[in-house]
Amino acid sequence: MSQQVILNANKATSNGVKKLFLYNTLTRKKEEFKPIKKGKVGLYTCGLTVYNFAHIGNLRTYLFEDILKRVLLYNGYKVKHVMNITDVGHLTGDRDMGEDKLEKGAAREGKTAWEIAEFYTKEFKKDLERLNIIEPDIWCKATDHIKEQIELIKKLEKRGYTYKISDGIYFDTSKVKDYNKLSHQPLEKLRAGARVEVNEEKKNPTDFALWKFSPAGEKRQMEWPSPWGVGFPGWHIECSAMSMKYLGEQFDIHCGGVDHINIHHTNEIAQAESATGKKPWVKYWLHGEFLNISGGEKMAKSQGNFLTLENALIKKGINPLVYRFAVLQTHYRKPMEYSEGAIKNAEKGLKHLYNQARELTDTDFYQIGGQVGGTTLHSISPPNKKFKDEFLQAVNDDLNTPQALAVVQKVFKSSLADEEKLGTIIDFDKVFGLNIEKELYNFVKPENIEALINEREKARKERNFKESDRLRKEIEKKGYRVEDTEVGMRFFKK
């Protein structure tokens, strides 16, 4: 379901029925959402560092951000969504020490850094599609915006926020008095954390690289000329430069995982607001909590305990939307526990939801005169206003998807007519993104087995029961249950 479909469907229906409240990390409280420009939202979300596959912990963050975007669209806002791809500058130590992750990935796989970036960018986009995550309006790669990053560093240099040491140009955090305003951590605690990666030349432990020099006598795969010497941008500068290019010097919402709060997002704010003269940069900061593997350990590539969508679900024959459904059952600001048992329960839950929706439709199939026949879905009614208001109250309370799912069950158990129940559930799915309408359409119109249906009906008419049984098994392999009736065959999704 595209962004435009959701927007058009809700312009007339929601119209500010319920106020939207979001938890702002910057103020540490829920606030009523009020965009800078009426009816429009600028949204920036930190994308993947493309040196490896996204793990399902990463994907939980992108799912939370997708729910946020869908809720904004459901409320009738026009959203301009920008997401970066980090394909250079993110070192193995988040505070500018260690090896570039892209160079490391290239060495691991015997490819160039450019090939690594291209491959894992495609895989990342494939995962987003599998999870029914709406693509951003603008994808922006760090390597395509070197000019913008250099220009931003020059602004900071002109304003006196930078200094040069042997390995690069650094930002002086001591010149930002409210450097800790996002983290809410005492400066000494931030400095203590920064000392884990020691660089004796830095003026302050929390200072960070804006531009790193290529090592003497070594040619990197990714390097560019700059006013300060040949090298590459630091990790943090890309997000400030690209978000301001596409969303302006002030915009509404910036998102990411909670692990970005103390370093990456704190540094983004420091450099962005210093470059623009302390103008408030982003109004609302939203962060998603970790996905923990069973036992409470954070899932991370550095710890070698990460699972991908491919090996955790797809290779096991599990619909990727099962993971989306599992994520919806935990609030985005609460840690989520992952286990195979939890995924199995989510799979049962999603199948049950689909079956509940099917019960609201006429879905018998039969064969008439060699053609696939059967009834179609009921006409889809507009959503019930009472339940829509209740649903809005849930999702507009800081994206409370567990509560919103509870409203779905209330609809199923209500005394509404089937077509009104169906219309209401399909309307809610604009936020959930579980493809309920598509699932029903596929159920009612099983085009992938049409040839088998025709062959089997021909075999039955010719009383070739051996061939008929063989074709039944073929149809069942495609995921359908077959029933023979007086009027023909009926097919049901398993």
Q: What is the pTM of this model?
A: 0.85
pLDDT for the residue numbered 416: 95
Query: Edge to edge, what strands does the sheet with 282-288 contain?
Result: 138-141, 78-85, 40-45, 251-257, 282-288
Token digits of residue 368: 């008439």
Q: What is the mean pLDDT of residues 337-341?
A: 93
pLDDT score, position 196? 74
For residue 208, which of 224, 216, 219, 197 has the smallest C-alpha distance? Answer: 197
* Alpha carbon of residue 372 to chain centroid: 39
* pLDDT at residue 66 greater than cutoff 90: yes
Of 194-208, 295-309, 350-364, where does the model show the most confidence? 194-208
Asked if residue 213 has pLDDT above 50, the reply is yes
Q: What is the pLDDT of residue 487?
A: 52
For 491, left (φ over 0), alpha (ψ -120 to 50), or beta? beta
Residue 24, beta-bridge partner list: 29
The average confidence (pLDDT) of the chain is 88
Q: Measuring CA to CA, which residue among 214, 231, 238, 224 is closest to residue 87?
A: 238
CA–CA separation, 270 and 353 (whole Å): 46
Beta pairing partners, 257:
288
Q: Please, what CATH class does the domain formed by 3-288 belong to?
A: alpha beta
* Confidence bin at 109 (pLDDT 50/70/90): very high
Q: What are the domain boundaries of the chain?
A: 3-288, 361-493
Q: Which of 178-182, 226-230, 359-363, 476-480 has the lowest mean pLDDT?
A: 359-363
